[in-house]
Structure 1
Amino acid sequence: MNAPRSEHLRANDASPEAVRIRQHRIERLRAELRKRDYAAGLFCDPVNIRYATGSRNMQVWCQRNPARYVFVATDGPTIMFEFSGCEHLTHGLETIQETRVATGWFYFTAGPRVSERVARWARELSDLLDTYGAGNRNLAVDRTNPEGYAALTALGIKIQDGQEVAERARAIKSPDEISSMRAAIVGCERSLLGVQQALQPGITENQLLAILSEGNLAGGGEYLETRLLTAGPRTNPWYQESGDHAVANGDLLAVDTDMIGESGFFTDMSRTFLCGDKKPTAEQRELYSLAYEQIQTNMALLKPGVSFREFSAASWFMPSRFAGNRYMSLIHGTGLSNEYPYVPYAEDFDAKGYDGIIEENMTLCVESYIGHNTGKEGVKLEEIVLVTANGPVPLTSYPFDAQLLA
């Protein structure tokens, strides 16, 4: 595998590729705002802030503390409201025309003064709409606490769904984004290789998770969104978090990377390995072969113009003995995080799904989890795929386990 570009598209990168990516993203955001006749967007989610501006700051902490936000006028400037003392972090970003100090009104910093501070926050945003909205009071907001909603609406602002705007913008990737995503995947696969090489009887799940995280950080990545790395009986059912369980000889180890890697790209791939020198059991081979078959079958269906409902209906049929443990989705988007679209199984579509169209230059994760309804182990596999005019192109290349496929 090629070495990851540890400095590739680092924060405030001024390379031509980075500038093109930022330009593509802000143009897509504004196109979505304009399509809905919104005067501006207010983005508080750190992933959406990064998409709009290319800036990052305390990404994990800001997911629960709305300490920074960005105002994107549909026809006007992008104004970044940065956490106090951090204004220097936006220097050099051509996407940002002005940086101001954010008004923090979350309880940790505002305490009993929340109402006072949220009123100041809302007035400043209302003034910006007066200046750049040309009488349009539609403001797309991706998230806000109840006090924020009340303060904005009290000033005559019509709150619209900003997350829809961001998700639809993020769904289509530029050639430069795809190139950068490939680089991030190389780093993820290198980290995964470290896990596979360290896998031996007696090592714990947490020790292996630490290796995955260390590889990501050392290669220029950022953090893991989940702890989905489990072994043996803890692989079934899925969604058990990594712990101090020791992996035994002959156990399956299932890993879902859920990695925010280089340049903030969400490198979401899954592999399952066999630990030790025991030969795989017939049951383990069946689980793995079915998961592999599901991935390959569903991946072949990914073509521009296919509707989500059509894809779901035509997807690989899961035998009933495994259906009770089926995964939450067949495919989902990926970019800077889990993204639009989300397509569930056919039997779940009416209750959980929504329709739409698979489009060229979407990047999608093709998912499989196979675990018997009453079984001991399960297999998790997942590929990242680019949708092209000629069909699907896998972006992940980490090898599947030949002995489990035998």
Structure 2
Amino acid sequence: MAIDQLLDACSAIEPDGKEAILRDVRAYRLARVQEQLLKHEVPAVLLYDPVNIRYATDTSNMQVWAGRNPARYIVVFANGHIVAWEFHSSEHVWDGLNLDVELRSAISWTFFNAGQEAERRAEAWGADIVDVFRKHAPGERLLAVDRLDPYGAAYLHKHGIALRDGQVLMETARLIKSSGELVLIGESLRTCEMGVDRMRRELRPGMTENDLWAHLHYENIRHGGEWIETRLLASGDRTNPWMHECSSRVLRDGDLLAFDTDMVGPNGYCSDISRTWVVGDGRPTDEQRKLYEYAYSQVHFNMDLLRPGMTFREFSEKAWKIPDEFIKNRYCCLAHGIGMVDEYPSIAHQIDWESSGYDGRFEVGMTMCVESYIGAEGGSQGVKLEQQVVLTENGCVSLTDCSFETDWL
């Protein structure tokens, strides 16, 4: 399907069509995990990260809570068989999925769940894992793991299982999006755009940052979205430096207002765009317009530059040059992958390359966020912009129609 057809399809999904898309996406994602297992010559991967579990199985159970309470986990084998240890009385989250899955009851050894019995519980957990591994991968020793607490790692090592990094396997699997995934990402973005539009309509002096931020959450939840990863909304002098989370500060006429959606919407896909507005009906000041024009130029120059086949280092070297006065407060990366959440890769600025850069190559089907923050060191305001794109054979294409303030330029 051509990219323009995909973008059209993103705008409205009929229920019957949605089910067909979900079936295709589930099969594609599981096959991507199997492909990585075979490529790395690892027979299975143990997953605790709820986003990785969602990617491999499309099951979701208290995602934010499960992210810090390791209470459900799965093992995916290279042949596609899945053993899932589900949280107490939650087997129903697997209903309706056409998966080769064996369900068991999860064992948790966190202090919250196990107290002083943590080590004993970890041994019961480990015996279960070893039993499953020996049954479905006889004679094998390697097991990939995305995250694991010390007691568990020690038990598996003691019983002859060598652990490998499962994050590299899963991040690589998640890298290339199918056409069906792009449709689901589009549905999340349409929800995000409705939230942003609602914020724009409701924005007025006298309300608080928290009041305004609630409108994005409202639209996300009522359209079947899930959570918002951050609270990055700031106004006035809180826009510089970036990374102030929203507060009870009252918006004042003429303030700059900047935000980053970081919204995990319908189907578990993230919508990650940033915009900056001015509060009230007046025109922005010359200083505000100058900051905005720099940020707009950075995002769009780098979007025009970005294309498949280019290496991460080449992109970093050729990217828009940030004026000296804004270098200190630069955003943490030039661009980053996006899917269910922020994903590999994260592209370092050239000035940061030696300390945090790594190379790779952009490919067709990658979805990325192109970033900018412009705010002078010691300045009183700043502008945050970010655009979500997909890489096609001819370059990158925006996945959102959420408008920029082009009349400020």
The normalised TM-score by structure 1 is 0.96
Q: After superposition, what is the alpha-carbon deviation per residue over 1:63-120, rounded to whole angstroms, capped at 9, x for unaligned?
A: 1000000110112511111101001111121134211111111111111111111111
- 1:279 is matched with which residue? 283
Q: Name the SS of the counterpart of 2:148 in structure 1.
A: coil
Asked if 2 retains the 8 angstrom alpha-carbon contact of 1:14 and 1:92, the reply is no
| 2:155 alignment partner AA | A
Mapped pair 1:20 → 2:13: no
Mapped pair 1:32 → 2:41: no
Q: Name the SS of the counterpart of 1:81 in structure 2.
A: strand
- 1:374 is matched with which residue? 378
| 2:61 alignment partner AA | N
Q: Name the SS of the counterpart of 1:63 in structure 2.
A: helix
Mapping for residues 146-295 of structure 1, pairs under 5 Å: 146-295=150-299
Report the Cα distance in structure 1 between the residues aligned to 2:396 and 2:80, rounded to whole angstroms.
38
Q: After superposition, what is the alpha-carbon deviation per residue over 1:243-276, rounded to whole angstroms, capped at 9, x for unaligned?
A: 0001110011101000000111010000001111
Report the Cα distance in structure 1 between the residues aligned to 2:405 and 2:222, rounded to whole angstroms.
26
Mapped pair 1:313 → 2:317: yes
Which structure 2 segments of 5+ residues have no match?
A: 1-6
- 2:51 is matched with which residue? 47
- 2:146 is matched with which residue? 142
Asked if 2 retains the 8 angstrom alpha-carbon contact of 1:4 and 1:187, the reply is no
Deviates more, 1:127-136 or 1:108-117: 127-136
Mapping for residues 115-130 of structure 1, pairs under 5 Å: 115-130=119-134
Asked if 1 retains the 8 angstrom alpha-carbon contact of 2:272 and 2:369, the reply is yes
Asked if 2 retains the 8 angstrom alpha-carbon contact of 1:270 and 1:380, the reply is yes
- 2:3 is matched with which residue? none
Alpha carbons of structure 1 residues 8 and 214: separation in structure 2 relative to 1, 3 Å:
farther
Asked if 1 retains the 8 angstrom alpha-carbon contact of 2:34 and 2:80, the reply is no
Q: CA deviation at 1:403?
A: 3.5
- 2:401 is matched with which residue? 397
- 1:329 is matched with which residue? 333
Q: CA deviation at 1:145?
A: 0.9
| 1:340 alignment partner AA | Y
1:84 to 83, 88, 98: 88
Alpha carbons of structure 1 residues 233 and 14: separation in structure 2 relative to 1, 3 Å:
closer
Report the Cα distance in structure 2 between the residues aligned to 1:121 and 1:7, rounded to whole angstroms.
43
- 1:59 is matched with which residue? 63
RMSD: 1.8
Report the Cα distance in structure 2 between the residues aligned to 1:267 and 1:374, rounded to whole angstroms.
31
- 2:354 is matched with which residue? 350
- Identity rate of aligned residues, in percent? 44
Which structure 1 segments of 5+ residues have no match?
A: none
Q: Name the SS of the counterpart of 1:372 in structure 2.
A: coil
